[in-house]
Chains A and B, each alone.
Chain A
Amino acid sequence: MTTTPQASLPAQTLTLNQRAAKVRRRLSNPWASGIAIVLAILWTLPTLGLLITSFRTQTDINASGWWTVFGKIFTGDANFTLENYDTALHGSTTNLAQFFVNSIVITLPSVVIPISIALLAAYAFAWIDFPGRDWLFVAVFALQVVPIQVTMIPLLRAYVSWGIGGSFWSVWLSHSIFALPLAIFLLHNFMKDIPRSLVEAATMDGAGHVKIFFRVVFPLMVPAIAAFGIFQFLWVWNDLLVALVFVGGRPDVAPLTVRVAELSGTRGGQWHLLSAGAFISMVVPLIVFVSLQRYFVRGLLAGSVKG
């Protein structure tokens, strides 16, 4: 494929001087640098504004814009506080701490379960030569087309009739199932790149498929698992629709996104709560994302480019 990120190889064939000249040319182009700086500022300012706001007092937020703090820092009049976060987390009307727990409880199984199942399925599609394999793989691949909206009402009815309506089980099940087509497809892409000789050698030694899966294939799949894991983690943690439909009415089960979206509707003007609430809901994915960005990019490239 023409789009794999193999920048290092061709770059090495250039001499150092050529590369340096190239970089200089790039930077010396004022238009290019100008565009880059303007876009970078446009993309950062909105987040920065809300972040600063979340540390200002309620009176300050309503009296003046967040950009005025820069002037106030110089004159020594700037007031910063953690009170908004305290109110948002523990205040009786917001109580985001409880929803934070719900988000964690929803997310962990919804990441672990589909990845495990998809690994087994991807292994079967790659290494077990059973009748109807290609046909079944195409069917699973095609299921990526189904928008989750199409499944919601029948699923909700099924959960209610089983007595797990509005429970953690209903969200865990839904997220696990919705993730499967993409997970199986992605992991299969990585799985079929494992050299055939490795698997055949293990078969020669008399290892069964279960043993080969755990001893040979699984260790080689760790980067792929990390890539899809971050994907799925961000998707579940940031999801609003699935949570709203299946557990939206249960404050003891619903995740942060549901509560924060609700606050935005009912307390639209209370920016001290909204700003702190938004960052409480964003802090975990931001940390995960920044620390594991490399794997995420790899998953992104594998998922959408290999098609």
Chain B
Amino acid sequence: MNWLTGGGEPAQKFLLMFLAIALFILIVGLILFLVDRPQNPKKWFLALGFLGLPVLGLGFGLVYPAIETIRNSFLNRDATKFVGLDNYVTAFTTPEFLVVLRNTAIWVLVVPIVATFIGLVYAVVVDRSRFEKFAKALIFLPMAISMVGASIIWGFVYAFRPVQGNIQQIGLLNQVLVWLGIPPQQFLINQPWNTFFLIVILIWIQTGFAMTLLSAAIKAIPDDIVEAARLDGLYGIGMFRYITVPSIRPTLVVVLTTIAITTLKVFDIVRTTTGGQFGTSVVANEFYRQSFVTLNTGLGAALAVLLFVLVIPIIWYNVRQLRLAEEVR
């Protein structure tokens, strides 16, 4: 029965996979069959049939663990003693963690703004051009790639070779420096700029998202508004500043907040490139390290709760802006 919980040969894994899907279909089929039996079923009975599984899943997989984690954040490292706010105090006062908080703040400020700005500019310049579709696909493609893959792609751009004898640079960025007559740099190690070189990776990924949404918003600006502005003598930058940007403001807010939330939880990039060393760690990476490497579950839980608390105002702002936008209409 070992293969039921483990790996084994590829054939066994695929068999297990089909078994799991079949089991799932069987359960859902049985529930639907029971729901369909009575002639005039009560509403709550129907709701139970259709919503029983998801509510059970969400209760077990999100609600209960969230409450448990909040409780753990007030306990010590192996959850045996109540320590009050000690974990939060550690997270907010230790120098090591202050760097982590500072880095997270830089990420959350820089990534949404730069990605949205580049995405907006690109959406405007390729709008209705002959190569629009192809041009967009190029920017869009990084969205399909895992952050692990993106980190390796950029890790190679940043690759560093010490200057000695005949050794050639193999990383593009350092080669550019050499061509310009500047000595090559260890981009991922030299503080504090290494954080910015990591940030570039997430900007590279998220710009496609910003561009797609903003491009759709730009196309939805009514042509009569654009024509009227033309008659009033608005072109180029003026058009962009006074017509395009105000018209797509609600989408801009959605894009900025969505990217901010993604950025807040960024883990893969830091983990794959530096592992959080050289002063590049962020809250999500520190959460992982405390919870699963140093096994300080109390502190890990406090960091997870911190992420939770930081997400809420961003989403609140987002929902409020959307409400406002709908009222205006």
Contact = CB atoms under 8 A, between A and B. Distances in A.
Interface in B238-282: 247-248, 250-251, 254-255, 258, 265, 267-268, 271-273, 275
* A contact residues, range: 35 or more
A16 interface: no
A169 B5 contact: yes
Contacts of A241: 267-268, 284, 288
Contact of A120 (B8, B50, B236, B318): B50
A66 B145 contact: no
Given A3-B251, A43-B207, A67-B175, A300 B213 contact: yes
A224 interface: no
A168 B191 CA distance: 40
Contacts of B319: 307
A257 B148 contact: yes
A39 interface: yes
Contacts of B236: 29
A253 B142 contact: no
Given A49-B172, A274-B152, A307 B220 contact: no
Nearest to B223: A10
Chain B contact residues, majority secondary structure: helix
Contacts of B106: none
Interface string A176-192: 11101100100000000
B307 A33 contact: no
Interface string A79-103: 0000000000000000000100110
Given A176-B57, A300-B209, A304-B258, A154 B128 contact: no
Contact of B6 (A208, A250, A271): A250
Given A65-B175, A147-B307, A120 B153 contact: no
Q: Which bucket holds chain B's interface residue count?
A: 35 or more
Nearest to A210: B36
A33 B13 contact: no
Given A174-B61, A238-B146, A46 B69 contact: no
A88 B53 CA distance: 41
A32 B6 contact: no
A45 interface: yes
Given A4-B216, A65-B175, A210-B36, A150 B65 contact: yes
Describe A's contact surface by its main secondary structure: helix
B69 A151 contact: yes
A10 B223 CA distance: 6
A117 B53 contact: yes
Interface string B123-160: 01111111000010111111111111101111111010
A293 B137 contact: yes
Contacts of A279: 149
Interface of A: 1-7, 10-11, 13-14, 19, 22-23, 26-27, 29, 32-33, 35-36, 39-40, 43-47, 49-50, 53, 61-67, 98, 101-102, 104-105, 108-109, 112-113, 116-118, 120-121, 123-125, 128-131, 133, 136, 140, 143-147, 149-155, 158, 163-164, 166-169, 172-174, 176-178, 180-181, 184, 208-211, 234, 237-241, 244-245, 248, 250-253, 257, 260-261, 264-265, 268, 271, 274-275, 277-279, 281-282, 285-286, 288-290, 293, 297, 300-301, 304-305, 307
Nearest 5 A-B pairs (CB), nearest first? A252-B7, A177-B61, A238-B146, A289-B144, A7-B219
Given A2-B329, A155-B65, 6 more contacts: A147-B304, A149-B288, A150-B66, A150-B305, A152-B291, A154-B72
Interface of B: 4-8, 10, 13-14, 16-17, 20-21, 24, 28, 32, 35-36, 41, 43-44, 46-47, 50-51, 53-55, 57-58, 60-66, 68-70, 72, 118, 121-122, 124-130, 135, 137-149, 151-157, 159, 168-172, 175, 204, 207, 209, 212-213, 216-217, 219-223, 236, 247-248, 250-251, 254-255, 258, 265, 267-268, 271-273, 275, 284, 287-288, 291-292, 297, 300-301, 303-305, 307-308, 311-312, 315, 318-319, 322, 325-326, 329
